Amino acid sequence: MSFKIEKKDKKTKARCGVFKTEHGKIKTPFFMPVVTKGIAKFLTLKNLDEIKTQCFISNCYLLYLKPGKEILKKAKGYHNFINWKKPIFTDSGGFQLKNPQFFISMSDKGVWFKSPFDGSKHFMSPEKVIELQNIIGSDIAMVLDDMQDANLSKEVYKKATDRTIEWAKRALNVHKNKNQLLFGIVQGGVYKDLRERCAKEINKLKFDGLAIGGLALGESKENMYKAIDYSLKHLDEKKIKYLMGVGSPEDIIISVGKGVDCFDSIYPTKMARHGHIFTRKGAINLKKGSYKDVFDPIEKECDCSTCKNHSLSYLHHLLRLDEPGVKILLSIHNVRFLHRLLEDSRREIEKGTFEAFQKKFLKDYKKRD
């Protein structure tokens, strides 16, 4: 068993533990930044290492397009290619179904994608995606799922749910790499019956971890939280749970309380690029003129290099000038913020005080400007 729960919170369903992978152990709960093509946007791997990123997620389909599997083979694997010694997840490419720049068509056999680089067509099946992730050599591979955008008709999600279950079985059949863990994904939109059926079916299969996908795409928060509950209810408590794509501080802390162990999202980096910064007292829009003469750091208690070295006034100044470098500084803070949030959550779970911590966080995390 790759996942070991160390402590369970008594008042909520939160837990903390250790997740063992080929490239080392990860303390849960944890957040993964998105490193789609071998680097995060405006963050180098060194930056990630410095803010104590335990693990990140890359994209199988994008890496297959460039640099391509021949280069990755010659480089002796992706870890070696990018020089990252810690664990790596790879997403299958299922998320790119949502993007018209990538998606062409799909059937039960698989998906036709196009390359945004040159327009060329590529067929991805559940089996091929496993083969590619095997070549990449990620510690954790994700199955190819049928992820539909939010707020479509129930028929669409029913079809996608059936296909996701079928593809999960096919992926498992061809997955032979003992050094690589494989996660299944629960779909079903916001529908109780679909989520529950999908969770039960995915839970029956021999996956190393279980993911909840297809959320935070534009459905209401209420529906999202319900869909998480419907899914988790039927998933093996002992297995690690991954809520895909969720990255707002409130959603993360709420989901930890529901029993989610890991998260990935572009949210902190995208928000940082747009000048929206996380603080324990809520997200702030640093572009606002009111920050022009505030000489405090973003957060006095934050241990990131941006908070240690720079004032809101300085960061505001750079942001107003649209200097690219400020996107690095702010991305460092936002990602570190989520890491700290989960490190603190873990500490509180260990102490048995997670519920109070969660309550306080949610109370304080209100827009302050």
Partner RNA sequence: CCCCUCAUGGUGUAAUGGUAGCACAAAGGGCUGUAGACCUUUUAGAAUCGGUUCAAAUUCGGUUGAGGGGA
Among 26, 51, 111, 147, binds RNA (CB under 7 A): 147
**Inter-residue contact 341 to 280 (CB < 8 Å):** no
Query: What is the CB neighbour count within 10 angstroms for residue 308?
Result: 9
Structure tokens given for 261: 């162990």
208, 204, 211, 212: which is closest to 19 by C-alpha?
208
Q: HEC profile for 261-281?
A: CEEEECHHHHHHHCCEECCCC
Which one, 117 or 295, has the nearer CB to RNA? 117
Among 308, 324, 325, 363, binds RNA (CB under 7 A): 324
Which one, 91 or 261, has the nearer CB to RNA? 91
What residues between 82 and 101 interact with RNA by CB under 7 A? 91-92, 94-96, 99, 101
Among 195, 197, 234, 327, binds RNA (CB under 7 A): 327
Beta carbon of residue 273, minimum distance to RNA (angstroms, whole number):
4
Which residues are bridge partners to 106 per DSSP? 111
DSSP 8-state assignment for residue 30: E
Which one, 7 or 219, has the nearer CB to RNA? 219
Query: Kind of pairing, strands 181-186 and 140-142?
Result: parallel
Which one, 74 or 120, has the nearer CB to RNA? 120
Q: Please state at what angle helix 354-364 crosses helix 325-351, rounded to 10 degrees.
A: 150
φ, ψ of residue 27 in degrees (nearest 5): -85, 130
What residues between 199 and 258 interact with RNA by CB under 7 A? 211, 213-218, 221, 244-248, 251
The catalytic site residues sit at: 91, 264
Structure tokens given for 8: 């369970």
Beta carbon of residue 129, minimum distance to RNA (angstroms, whole number):
10
Site residues (vs RNA, CB under 7 A): 34, 36, 40-41, 57, 59, 62, 91-92, 94-96, 99, 101-102, 116-117, 142, 145, 147, 185, 187, 211, 213-218, 221, 244-248, 251, 264-267, 269-271, 273-276, 285, 287-290, 320, 322, 324, 327, 367
